[in-house]
Structure 1
Amino acid sequence: MDLSVIWKSLILIAAGTLLLRISGRKSIAQMTLAQTIVIIAIGTIIVQPIVEKSVTKTIAATAVFVATLLILEYLQIKFNSVEKFLTGKSKVVIENGTLNVKALKKLRLTVDHLEMRMRNEGLAKIEDIKYATIEPNGLLGYELKDDAKPVTVGELKKILDLYFPKATADNTAMNKEQPNIFTEINQQSKQDHPDYLQ
């Protein structure tokens, strides 16, 4: 194998990583349509110089794609109409425990696919959902009905305060004695750890 091919590959990987790092940190599932197209295009472009022997042109083309993506994202922040056109808006697919069949048809989404997304979120019943939306990045957003919401720590503390005030006071005192593992981060102090773990 020609050594120049290895060097070109390494340069392209480094340049591609840097340019993609600039474009932002998102998984494929979280990407918008424009971002997905740019990523696919960058992947295709980045292989070209190994065949065509033009590393600088490839890096320049990749930089143009990333710059275009950044401009589009800036325009989406500034103008709601641009965001609506490029990214789209969330679509309500469940409302008060009832499927919105019209929205599902527009999204070309079957009930089975919706249920699969619900299972991934740990949701068992459509009837428990107050609102569910399909977001522009394809993920499921939802709000549960009041009766189906899990009890929060704050709500549990209120119940315990109401029925067991002494036990809650003892627990609070005990928690104050426990060291906070994040104090080291806040104080930026090093403790007695080996140098290689600092």
Structure 2
Amino acid sequence: MNQYWDEFWKSLVLIIFGMLLLRISGRKSISQMTIPTTITMISIGTIIVQPIAEESILLTGLAAIVFILVLISVEILQVRFNRFEKWIKGPAIIVIEGGQLDERNLKKLRLTVDALEMKLRLQGISKISDVKTATIEPNGQLGYELKDSAKPVTVSQLESLLSKYFNGTEDGSDVAISNLPNQETTLFNEIRKGDQHVTNKQLQ
């Protein structure tokens, strides 16, 4: 019986250790991994499971169950507790603010300017100066908000302009203003303040 408990705690420690290693290694999805990064990650996985792989099939199966249960528990805790999610994933990090690069955060992410420019090009953005705010999300993807001058016209804004044009400035001006997007509260303001979804974290 003690052997099974030893295997349980060994599996628990190994998966926590593995998550910490991945947390430290940086925020890159599998598709973004370079060859050295991929080899390193595979090696880490091999090293982590090595103490378990040499045991019996039953103990290896128990270890696999523990890994799965811990993974499910972590996902549930991330849904229920914002602080736990932030600790596991880390917050989104701003890399462009007001059309200017944040070199300090780029160094923190170990992300080159060329790599950031590639991400921008993939989103169809040709100028850094057109970007109001850009972030690197916990999954390694790029989030961005364009400046008002670079944003495409939305249907509601077009309708407001047409209403203003056909009805005159007095009748259409209020409509145009009311249909403009709210500039006070955005998803990027949450990142600046450091409180992402601090309200109810439970799924509705």
Q: TM-score range by the shorter chain?
A: 0.5 to 0.7
- Partners in 1 of 2:91 and 2:69 — Cα distance? 24
1:1-198 → structure 2 map (5 Å cutoff) = 28=30, 54=57, 61-164=63-166
Q: Identify if the C-alpha distance between structure 1 residues 160 and 57 changes in structure 2 by more than 3 Å, giving closer, same or farther.
A: farther
**Deviation sequence 1:96-118 (CA, Å, 0-9, x none):** 00000000000000000000000
Q: Identify if the C-alpha distance between structure 1 residues 29 and 81 changes in structure 2 by more than 3 Å, giving closer, same or farther.
A: farther
Q: 1:153 deviation in Å? A: 1.1
Q: Residues 88 and 136 of structure 1 are in contact (CA less than 8 Å); yes or no, is this contact kept in structure 2? A: yes
Q: Residues 132 and 141 of structure 1 are in contact (CA less than 8 Å); yes or no, is this contact kept in structure 2? A: yes
- Partners in 1 of 2:104 and 2:146 — Cα distance? 21
Q: Residues 132 and 140 of structure 1 are in contact (CA less than 8 Å); yes or no, is this contact kept in structure 2? A: yes
Q: Residues 90 and 136 of structure 1 are in contact (CA less than 8 Å); yes or no, is this contact kept in structure 2? A: yes
SS in 1 for 2:94: strand
- The higher relative CO (CA closer than 8 Å, separation ≥ 6) is in 2
**Deviation sequence 1:109-136 (CA, Å, 0-9, x none):** 0000000000111111110111100000
TM-score normalised to structure 1 length: 0.53
Q: 1:65 deviation in Å? A: 2.2
Paired AA for residue 88 in structure 1: G
SS in 1 for 2:164: helix
Identify unmatched segments of 5+ residues in structure 1.
1-26, 31-36, 166-198
* Number of residue pairs matched by the alignment: 126
SS in 1 for 2:73: helix
Which entry has the higher C-alpha Rg, 1 or 2?
Answer: 1
Q: Residues 91 and 133 of structure 1 are in contact (CA less than 8 Å); yes or no, is this contact kept in structure 2? A: yes
Q: Residues 29 and 139 of structure 1 are in contact (CA less than 8 Å); yes or no, is this contact kept in structure 2? A: no
Q: Residues 29 and 138 of structure 1 are in contact (CA less than 8 Å); yes or no, is this contact kept in structure 2? A: no
Paired AA for residue 91 in structure 2: K
